[in-house]
Amino acid sequence: MEPSTAAARLATSALAPLVRKLFTPEGPGAGLAGDPVRMSRRVSFRGEQRTLTERDLHRLAADIVRRAAESGGPAEAPDAETRREVTEALAAALHSLGDLDMDDIQAVRLGPEGLAARLACPSGLSEAAQDRLRPLLRLACTHIVEFFTRRTTFVPRTLVEQTRALERVAETADRLAARIPAPLARDLEFERGYAEHIARRHGELTIYGLDLQQAREWRLEAAYVSLQTAGDDGATAPVPADEALAGPHRVLLRGAAGSGKSTLVQWLAVTAATSGPGSRMGHLAGRVPFVLPLRRIVRQGGLPTPDEFLSAVRSSIAGEQPDGWANRVLRAGRGLLLVDGVDEIPQAEREAVRRWMRELLGDYPGNLWLVTARPSAVRESWLEGEDFAEFSLAPLSGSGVVEFVRRWHAAAHAGQEQATSLLDAIRRIPALGRLAVNPLMCGLLCALHRERRGFLPHGRKDLYEAALSMLLERRDVERGVADGLRLSKETQIQLLQKLAHWLLRNDRAELERPDAVGQLERALVNMAHVDAGPERVYRCLLERSGLLREPADGRVDFVHRTFQDYLAAKAAVEEGDFPLLTDNAHRDQWDDVLRMAVALARPAERARILEALVRTEQPRQLLLAASCLDQATELAPGVRERVLSGAARRLPLDGSVSRPELAAAGPVLLELLPGPEGLSPAECATAVVAASLIATDAALPVLARFRGHPSLNVRRQLAWAWFRFDTHAYAAQILAHLDASDLYFTAYSATHLDVLRALDRQSRVQLWWPASPEAVAEHLDARRVRHLWLPAHEAAGEQVDPDAWRAVFPELRTVSLSPHGPRERT
């Protein structure tokens, strides 16, 4: 892209405040009310009113160059040497303002280009640096002229000159715009409209069950709760999910149903469309988001090329995009590709999707990618060859649950007293705490708590049954809907089960409308009490149940996969489809179906399902069987014992199953974990991470078994896991007993620092949030700190100064500015 275009993308709101720093403010004694004042008296880096040092001036120039680089994509950014040259030259040119023998009126009369020509620029610049410097200097001079024309002492004295100068500014802007190629000008205009379109289209979140009497749309900025990610090894400390792309440019994000993957995609799209350089999400500034839900784009009959992205998702402005625009965006490395829901397409089509992504990655390098899937939808390292980092969405933390519940009640216009009552119940009743693990389940708990005036189910099966009762039985009554066709809750459930069961058997996420109507027609043959044809029943379920939707004309699906899995399991159990269930137990999209089937089945049927899983002798199926035990309210002791012994015997601590998949077994995993005796250090580390992912008080005694282990990796896992537990309980039971040799203790808050000081674990500290040296020193004994590991996202900023940290911590020997670990600083 032309450097002039990069400068044109630099927002006025970003540059104007920087330029204003070059000049002293008006005020008493400044001598600005009389005759025109020479430039040398106006600049803020000379004379009696000096407020800006030459070093400050250099930093100002560096900030302008950085913001210009960030306003485009990585492919447009200059290399480090060119950036250094441009910074030095721009600083020298701005410094020469103080040497000009002219006043502000004369500067305005010259206009931006004339003023730029008078400034001294170093000779010997490379061609690349000259190309970058010229448009930046013209843009800075445009703002300097504009600054002079707005001074209160200038306006009454130079009205005529100001008018002429503004005309020249406008002419300059017109000339600069004229130099932008016509296709690029059309691109810029379209991108402005596209950003507004993205903000409108994805700026609302549908919360199912939000309220029976009100609209279910929730403004995204009010609904969004920041989620946490961890590396798929389960050992990496938490990172806000919306910042996962700040480091790696390509991320595969795994998360269970209802964990917030699609909401995160919406948030990233809207943030990219509305953020500017310098914001918390500045790494997305200048990015053009493409939201690509696989469920929708795969059904079009072929995976789209870039010019088909908008039409593939049925964007209303697809026809307005300039020819070749998407290709130019991706070629420049300015794209943000959000590929959502690998798990929502048939297994047979996932390899085709991987090949499609590989082709796009090869043809258009430099763009940001986020791909989402359920935890086991694709094998580990599915995209590792394409340099994708893999993360998993962590369950909602305790503070995350509190934030979500309070926001939900505020959005539903419910009293905060109800929110406090629900939060108390979640804390007091372990079964409720195990349910409140993700946004979907928390939303259902909020809706049911309000609906039932505080009475809540204590298990997933009961929770789904209560939610269905709320949606199917009382929703129309409380909304005052009157229609000739009224279907009972039981009838609606039976019909919805048929649709869910068809989707399960055929490995589909959607039905064609004729298939849906056909399934209902066959079911209605046995429902003489329903006095309506299949078309009318279909329309009734679609419009009234709150569980179905039409994502596109002629297609229907469930509003959330969780409801589909529950109803499919119910149908499978009622029809005795147990071989169908167990034969597909190796497939990730059947996990929740099997858990719900165990919950819904009768005792003998439960035993049949679990015994079949145990007989496979496969670690994944054994773990799945163990995770089902929590749903089995009545089960013969012998069956439970065989499941536990089989899972314990084949517990995969060798890396063949990921740590998050191990943790998916739930609290029963704590009964299965061996060690540390008889385990290798690597197996001990896996056991520690898996137990810490359970994140309940019951995990603490298990973790305590490993606190005396000599392996640095095992101790590191224990130190990292602190954030998942109560601060003081974990510190007392785990951290206080760890051998501190060569071990960094990770602090996630100021409270953690206070605890580390009390425990005298201050020699090696890893910070996980940006903080100043002075702020950290308030919570630690500065003379006890020997080694510091600063967060990667802060270390990437130019403001980090190791000397500033050494000035506060006099005994500091090591400072790490690397995301990969500490290194000695000499």
Q: pLDDT (tens digit, 9 = 90+) per residue, 244-292?
A: 787 778 999 888 777 888 888 998 999 998 876 656 677 788 899 999 9
Q: How confident is the model over 231-244, as pLDDT tens digits?
A: 545 445 567 787 77
pLDDT for the residue numbered 169 = 63
Q: Which amino acid is at 480?
A: G
Identify the CA nearest to 79 among candidates 123, 122, 127, 128.
128
CA dist., res. 476 & res. 496, Å (int): 17
- pLDDT for the residue 279: 63
- What whole-number distance in Å separates Cα of residue 822 and Cα of residue 802? 13
Q: Which pair of tokens denotes residue 332?
A: 């420049």
Q: With H, G, I as helix, E, B as strand and everything else as coil, classify residue 166.
A: helix
Beta bridge partners of 27: none
φ and ψ at residue 434, rounded to 5 degrees: -70, -25
Q: How confident is the model at residue 32 (pLDDT cuts 50, 70, 90)?
A: very low
pLDDT score for 480: 42
Which residues are within 8 A (CB) of 241 and not within 5 positions of it... i.e. 6 or more apart? 226, 227, 228, 229, 253, 260, 264, 391, 393
Going through 598-751 in order, the beta strands assigned E by DSSP cover 745-747
Residue 417 has pLDDT above 50, yes or no: yes
The chain-wide mean pLDDT, for the chain, equals 80
3-state percent breakdown (helix, strand, coil) of the chain, nearest 5: 55, 10, 35
Output the CA–CA distances (angstroms, integers) from residue 179 to 1, 111, 138, 286, 369, in the order listed. Answer: 12, 18, 14, 21, 32
Of the candidates 454, 466, 440, the one whose C-alpha atom is nearest the C-alpha of residue 210 is 440
Kind of pairing between the strands at 764-767 and 787-789: parallel
| Cβ contact 678:687 at 8 Å | no
**Which of 8-17, 130-139, 638-647, 648-657 is the least confident region?**
8-17
For residue 245, the number of C-alpha atoms closer than 13 Å in the C-beta half-sphere is: 30
DSSP designation for 23: B
Question: Is the predicted pLDDT of residue 765 greater than 80, yes or no?
Answer: yes
* Residue 217 DSSP SS3: strand
Cβ-based neighbour number of residue 215 at 10 Å: 10
pLDDT tens, position by position, 347-403: 788 889 999 999 999 999 989 999 998 876 777 778 877 888 888 887 787 788 888
Question: What pLDDT score was predicted for residue 321?
Answer: 93
Model confidence pLDDT, tens digit, residues 57-99 = 788 888 888 877 776 666 667 888 888 898 989 888 888 877 7
Highest mean pLDDT among 111-125, 303-317, 481-495 belongs to 303-317
In this structure, which amino acid lies at residue 440?
L
Run of H or E including 411: helix 398-411
Minimum mean pLDDT range among 92-106, 133-147, 418-432, 645-659: 92-106
Nearest Cα to Cα of residue 720 among 255, 242, 238, 254 = 238
User: From CA 296, how far away is CA 344, in angstroms rounded?
Assistant: 10
Q: Above 90 in pLDDT, residue 498?
A: yes
Count of residues making up the chain: 826
Q: In this predicted model, what pLDDT tens digit does every residue of 584-632 receive, in sequence order? A: 998 878 888 999 999 999 999 999 999 999 999 888 899 999 989 988 8
Do 481 and 544 touch, CB atoms closer than 8 A?
yes
Joined tokens for residue 391: 């993360």
Top-level class of domain 396-458: mainly alpha
Range with lowest mean pLDDT among 260-264, 371-375, 411-415, 502-506: 411-415
The confidence score (pLDDT) of residue 231 equals 58
Over residues 481-496, the pLDDT tens digits come to: 445 577 888 999 999 9
Phi, psi of 787 (to 5 degrees): -140, 135
Q: Which has the minimum average pLDDT: 420-429, 560-569, 795-804?
A: 795-804
* pLDDT number for residue 486: 79
Query: Amino acid letter at 181?
Result: P
Beta-bridged to residue 206, according to DSSP, are: 217
State which amino acid sits at residue 650. Answer: R
- What's the pLDDT band for 547 if we cut at 50, 70, 90? confident
Where does the pLDDT of residue 439 fall: very low under 50, low under 70, confident under 90, or very high at 90 and above? confident
Tokens for 551?
């994502």
- Give mean pLDDT, residues 166-181: 59
Mean pLDDT along residues 694-707? 90
**What percentage of the chain has pLDDT greater than the value 90?**
30
Return the residue matching tokens 């309506």. Answer: 532
Long-range contacts of 180-183 (CB under 8 A, 24+ apart): 180/2, 180/4, 180/5, 180/8, 181/2, 183/322, 183/324, 183/328
**Nearest C-alpha neighbor of 493 from the set 550, 562, 541:** 541
pLDDT at 688: 92
Instruction: State residue 825's pLDDT score.
Output: 30
Q: How confident is the model at residue 210 (pLDDT cuts 50, 70, 90)?
A: very low
Q: Which residue has the higher pLDDT, 751 or 114?
A: 751
Integer Cα distance of 239 and 751 in angstroms:
18
**Res 215: pLDDT:** 42
| DSSP 8-state assignment for residue 231 | E
Cα separation, 554 vs 391, whole angstroms: 36
Classify each residue of 732-748 as buried b or exposed e, where b means 16 or more C-beta atoms within 10 Å of its C-beta: ebbbeebebeebbbbbb
- 297 has pLDDT over 60: yes
How far apart (Å, rounded) are the C-alpha atoms in residues 540 and 487?
A: 9
Work out whether strand 814-816 and strand 239-240 pair parallel, antiparallel, or are unpaired.
unpaired
pLDDT digits (tens, 9 = 90+) for 655-692: 777 777 787 788 888 888 998 998 999 999 999 988 98
CATH pick for 199-394 out of 3.40.50.300, 3.40.50.261, 1.20.58.740, 3.90.550.40: 3.40.50.300
Most confident of 229-243, 462-476, 754-768, 791-805: 754-768
**Residue 77 in contact with residue 36, Cβ under 8 Å?**
no
Position 205, amino acid: L
Domain range list for the chain: 3-180, 199-394, 396-458, 744-826
Strand 745-747 vs strand 764-767: parallel, antiparallel, or unpaired? parallel
Strands 555-558, 250-254: pairing is unpaired
Contact partners, residue 123, CB within 8 Å, separation at least 6: none
Q: Let me know: does 378 contact 350? Beta carbons within 8 Å.
A: yes
